[in-house]
Every structure is written in structure tokens, then in C-alpha cells.
């Protein structure tokens, strides 16, 4: 089932896109864990080199030490796994925007589809990291000012919405999401005017 098949019957698709795999891979390589993994690897290699230089043989004791260091190098394996799977995660991440909200489908082995309606969003912003600037991509960040069933942890009084990350046309998507967010969210928060069946409160084509 594609992401298009999971939207509501009365929804209109206005944009669909995917992550830039290059940015995802570079961000996975050059992250804070890189320095920690290098130090950890160098520290363990000193012990392994010392053991081999003092005539360590591959007997039972040597095998036990080898198994110990394979386990002890777990932070290094975690870092390498993160780099190797970054491209796959980006490949399997899809974004879709309708006239009702934002859909994100992600996951390599287990697929998850999330939807955030524009009525939940209160703020929209753009973020560009070092590699975003290098590859001319960006992130569209959304937040919520109230508790909702689809929001995650809070920060500075706001709840996280859903982020559209590492996309080429981030400026266009920022304007698009902002337009829908302002129209729908502002109209929802405005005194209800007895809430007619068709909402004319904020010059929007959004129909309740």
C-alpha cells in the first residue's frame, strides 16, 4: 500500500516528496557519536595491539578476549550501523501534504504512517544544517501550542508536530504549510460564530 492509498477520501494531495539520501548519510557520518566512536575504537585497539605484540596466540584465552572486545566495541558497531542504515531510512521515508494535514511514512522493516492535521499546528519554521546548505536542502519544522494525541514531548511550552526533513523544495513547502496552517488553525481558534456548516471565518477554502 502506498502513502497515497492511506489518505482520506475527501482529501486533495497538494505535494508529495522524499528525503535527500545524500544529506541523511552525511548527517549520520558526521554526528557527535563519531568522535566518541573513534576514541573508543582507538582505546580498544591499544589493548588488542598490546595483547598481540606480547605473543598472544589464538587459543581458548585469546578467543575469550576477542569475544570480549567484539562486545566492548558496541558503541563503534552502533555508529557504523547508523551510517549504513541512514540511506535506507531516507529511501523508505515518504512525505505527503493534503489540504487537511501532513502525512509521513517511514521504517525499513516495520512501516509506520503518521498524520498531523493542520488544526493541531500553531508554528511553522525552516531549519538548515551544514549539509542542508551544502546540498541545497532544508527541513520544515512544525510545532503545536496545545496537547494533542499526535504530539510528542514538549519544549519551551510547545509540542512537537511533524518535521519534513532534507527536502530540496523546502522553501516552497514552508510557504505551503504556513498558508494552510494560518488559515485553518487561526479559523479554528477564532470565536466560533455559532460555527456554520461552512466556515467563512478566515478567507479559506477549507470546509468543515
Does residue 92 lie in a domain region? no
* 78 and 109 inside one domain: no
pLDDT score, position 59? 57
- If you compute the radius of gyration of the chain from its CA atoms, what whole number of angstroms results? 24
pLDDT score, position 47? 83
Q: Compute how many other C-beta atoms are within 10 angstroms of the C-beta atom of residue 208.
A: 11
- State how far the Cα of 64 lies from the Cα of 72, in Å rounded to an integer: 12
* 181 and 103 inside one domain: yes
- Name the nearest CA neighbour of 92 among 109, 70, 75: 109
Does residue 63 lie in a domain region? yes
List 127's β-bridge partners, or say none: 139
Q: Which range of residues forms the domain containing residue 58?
A: 27-87
pLDDT score, position 2? 85
* 55 and 144 inside one domain: no
pLDDT score, position 150? 46
pLDDT in tens, the chain (208 residues): 789 989 988 899 999 999 999 999 999 999 989 999 999 999 988 887 877 776 555 555 667 878 888 899 999 999 999 999 999 999 999 999 999 999 999 999 999 999 999 988 888 999 999 999 999 999 999 998 655 444 444 444 446 678 999 999 999 999 999 999 888 866 666 555 555 566 555 555 655 5
* 118 and 51 inside one domain: no
Yes or no: say if 95 and 103 are a contact pair by the CB < 8 Å rule.
yes
CATH number, domain containing residue 129 = 2.30.29
pLDDT score, position 181? 86
Cite the DSSP H helix spans in the chain: 21-29, 33-53, 60-72, 74-91, 130-135, 170-189
Does residue 203 lie in a domain region? no
How many folded domains does the chain comprise? 2
Does residue 207 lie in a domain region? no
pLDDT score, position 27? 94
* 31 and 69 inside one domain: yes
* 12 and 76 inside one domain: no
Amino acid at each position: 500500500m502506498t502513502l497515497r492509498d492511506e489518505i482520506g477520501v475527501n482529501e486533495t494531495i497538494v505535494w508529495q516528496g522524499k528525503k535527500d539520501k545524500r544529506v541523511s548519510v552525511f548527517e549520520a557520518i558526521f554526528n557527535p557519536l563519531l568522535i566518541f566512536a573513534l576514541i573508543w575504537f582507538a582505546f580498544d585497539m591499544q589493548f588488542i595491539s598490546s595483547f598481540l605484540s606480547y605473543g598472544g596466540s589464538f587459543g581458548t584465552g585469546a578467543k575469550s578476549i576477542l569475544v570480549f572486545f567484539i562486545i566492548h566495541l558496541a558503541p563503534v558497531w552502533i555508529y557504523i550501523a547508523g551510517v549504513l542504515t541512514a540511506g535506507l531510512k531516507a529511501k523508505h521515508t515518504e512525505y505527503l501534504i493534503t489540504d487537511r494535514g501532513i502525512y509521513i511514512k517511514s521504517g525499513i522493516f516495520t512501516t509506520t504512517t503518521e498524520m498531523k492535521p493542520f488544526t493541531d499546528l500553531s508554528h511553522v519554521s525552516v531549519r538548515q544544517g551544514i549539509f542542508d546548505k551544502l546540498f541545497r536542502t532544508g527541513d520544515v519544522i512544525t510545532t503545536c501550542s496545545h496537547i494533542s494525541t499526535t504530539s510528542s514531548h514538549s519544549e519551551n511550552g510547545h509540542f512537537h508536530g511533524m518535521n519534513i526533513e532534507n527536502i530540496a523544495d523546502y522553501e516552497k513547502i514552508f510557504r505551503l504549510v504556513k498558508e494552510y496552517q494560518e488559515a485553518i488553525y487561526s479559523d479554528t481558534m477564532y470565536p466560533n460564530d455559532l460555527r456554520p456548516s461552512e466556515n467563512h471565518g478566515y478567507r479559506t477554502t477549507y470546509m468543515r
